[in-house]
Structure formats: C-alpha cells, structure tokens
Amino acid sequence: MTHAMSPVQLILPKRFADPRGWFMEVYSEPKFRERGIDCDFVQDNHSLSIPAFTLRGLHFQTPPHAQDKLVRCVRGRIFDVAVDVRRDSPTFGKWVGAELSAENGHQLFVPVGFAHGFLTLEPDCEVTYKVSALYAPECDGGIRWDSAGVDWPLPAGAEPILSDKDAQLPSLSDFSALFPYNGRPLGPLA
C-alpha cells in the first residue's frame, strides 16, 4: 500500500472467496499505518436504520475528544460522506462520498476535522464504525445535512428521514471551525 495524499480514504479490503462464502480482513494496524492512517481505535459503534433514505449526520466530535472514524456497511447500502470542516483549509466545505455496501465491503476512513454522515439507500441498513476517542456528549457537534452542497442520491422531490437533533444542527456557514488544518487538502477518493 502507498501513502494516500487525501486525508479521507476509501479502503477496499480484499475478499478471499470459496464455495462456502468469503473472508476479509477489515482492519490491520500495520497496513493502515502504511496508508498514513495513524490512530488508535478505542470504541466500535453499530447502528440500524430501518427506513430507506434515513440520513444520519453530518456529525463530528470537537477537541479534546475529536474522533477519527472507520466506517463500513454490514447490511444494505449507504452513501457515506465526509465534509472538510478544518479552519484555514483550502478545501473547507468540500465533500467526498462513496457507496458502501455489505456486497462491496468498502470502508471510508474519516479523520478528525471532517463532518461525517450517511444516507441509507435501501431499508434495514446496518453500519459499523470504529472511532479513535470515546463518545463525549459535551463535544458532540455537527452541521446541517443540506448546508454543504452534498449531492445526496435522494429520489426527485424526496426529503431524508432525520432525527430531531440532526434537523436542528447549524448550517456550515454558521459553523466556527475548531479543527486546525494539517496541510493535507481533501482530494478525490481513489
């Protein structure tokens, strides 16, 4: 593996298949460090979204409990997004997204300084993700789903299903960036 330039990375684990099914390695600390992903994961989270077009996000945790995330979909399909919210970043407010599914096995690494969210593309989606800091409610934050120009794959005229909390998040334009820029601008997903 080579060091990726973009801080947000699409990870494509290799599957080893035979007539019984398949096996894949979803996380290997040495292999991730080779990619420039140098964090210690301390908590795993698992969510179920029952209706299609449920949108969760766009979330982050602020310092001193900011989180790196490694996200994968273990049932169904989602459109997973990261938005740059780092102060002084030349790509502030830009986003990248990818379809993650149980079928494709892809994962998205979302580092500190990026708001994260996903839209379910079918019913009964389960998402798991590792985080590098424990949940700290006093550092919980986010921006409104429709304030960063994300091209969510919603059917024409449809609105996503949101939690009350997510519906009340501030817009990106009202957000005061608390995350420093580390010199790595957001780039396209490989």
Q: In sequence order, what DSSP letters do the residues of the chain get, joined into one string? A: ----SSSSEEE-PPEEEETTEEEE----HHHHHHTT------EEEEEEE-STTBEEEEEEE-TTS---EEEEEEESEEEEEEEE-EET-TTTT-EEEEEEETTT--EEEE-TTEEEEEEESSSSEEEEEEESS---GGGEEE--TTSS-----PPTT---B--HHHHTPPPGGG----EEP-S-------
Q: What is the mean pLDDT of residues 97-106?
A: 97
pLDDT given for residue 177 in this prediction? 81
Rounded average pLDDT over 5-33: 93
If one counts every other C-beta atom within 10 angstroms of the C-beta of residue 36, the result is 17
Per-residue confidence (pLDDT) for residue 5, from 0 to 100? 67
Query: The tokens of 183 are what?
Result: 């010199």
* pLDDT value of residue 3: 42
pLDDT of the residue at 178 = 86
Tens of pLDDT, residues 141-184 = 999 999 999 999 999 999 999 999 999 999 999 988 889 999 99
Q: What is the CA radius of gyration of the chain?
A: 16
Domain boundaries, the chain: 41-151+158-180
Residues belonging to the active site: 59, 129
Cis peptide before 64 (omega within 30 of 0): yes
The model's pTM: 0.94
- Topology annotation, domain 41-151+158-180: Jelly Rolls (2.60.120)
Q: For residue 182, which of 96, 89, 104 has the smallest C-alpha distance? A: 89
Assess whether pLDDT exceeds 70 at residue 86: yes
